[in-house]
Amino acid sequence: MRYLVFALFLWVQPLFAQRINVDRGEAKKAYHYLNDFRMNPKKHGRAIRVNNLRGVTQTRLVWNPTLAKVAEERAKDMARRNYFDHTDPDGYGPNYHINKAGYTLNPDWLKKRSTNNFESIGAGHPTAVDGIKSFIIGKGSPGFMHRKHMLGLDDWNASLQDVGIGFVRVKRGKGYATYLCVIIAKHDW
C-alpha cells in the first residue's frame, strides 16, 4: 500500500508543480539594453520619459557567467518558493549566494548572512527589458536606489563592472508570472 501511495504521488505531483522556464535570451536582451542605456542616457531617458540623468556611468558592464548563474538561480528560487525578497526564506542574501558560487567578495561584505550590496529584483514584468526600464524609472521599486544601481550614479555603483541577469517565467502557481534578478558586482573595494 505504501508503494502505491508513493507511486500515485509521483504521478500526480507534476500536475501541481510550477513550471519555471529560464529565459536566457531575455536576460541577454536586458544586458544589451542596460549597456546601451549607459552609453546613450539622453536618448533612452527621453524614450522612457526620465530626465535628470547627469552622472550616468558610461562604462560598459561585463557579462559574468558566475553572476548570471547566481541571478538565474535567485529568480528561480523566488518563483519556486513563492517569495519576492532579497533575503531568501532561509535568511541568506545575495552576497552569500554570490560568494558561495565562487565569485569571491570582500570578507567585510559577508559578515551578515542577509547582506545585499549588488542585487536588484523585479517581478511581473512582461520582459526583462521592461524590468530594467522599471528600475530606471523607479516605478514599483525603491525608486532612486535601483536607478543608482543600474546606471552607476554614485561612487559605489560606478565601481561595479561585472553583471549577471536572470529572468524566469512561471507557467502556473501563485505569485508572479515573471521574476528578474540583476546582479552588478565587483570583487573588492
- 4 in a structural domain: no
- 9 in a structural domain: no
Mean pLDDT of the chain: 89
pLDDT band at 5 (very low <50, low <70, confident <90, very high): very low
pLDDT by residue (tens digit) across 7-30?
444 444 444 456 999 999 999 999
- Model pTM greater than 0.85? yes
> How many structural domains is the chain composed of?
1
pLDDT by residue (tens digit) across 138-149?
865 566 789 999
Q: Please say whether the dihedral angle defined by the alpha carbons of residues 125, 131, 135 and 137, taken in this order, is positive or negative.
A: negative
Q: Please say whether the dihedral angle defined by the alpha carbons of residues 34, 38, 42 and 45, taken in this order, is positive or negative.
A: positive
CATH number, residue 84: 3.40.33.10
Domain extent, residue 163, equals 19-185
**pLDDT at residue 12, rounded to an integer:** 41
CA distance 28 to 51: 26
72-102 as b/e: b if 16+ CB within 10 A: bbbbbbbbbeeeeebebeeebbbbbbbbeee
For the CA atoms of 104, 109, 113, 115, the dihedral, rounded to the nearest 10 degrees, stands at -120
pLDDT by residue (tens digit) across 105-157?
999 999 999 999 999 999 999 999 999 999 999 865 566 789 999 999 999 99
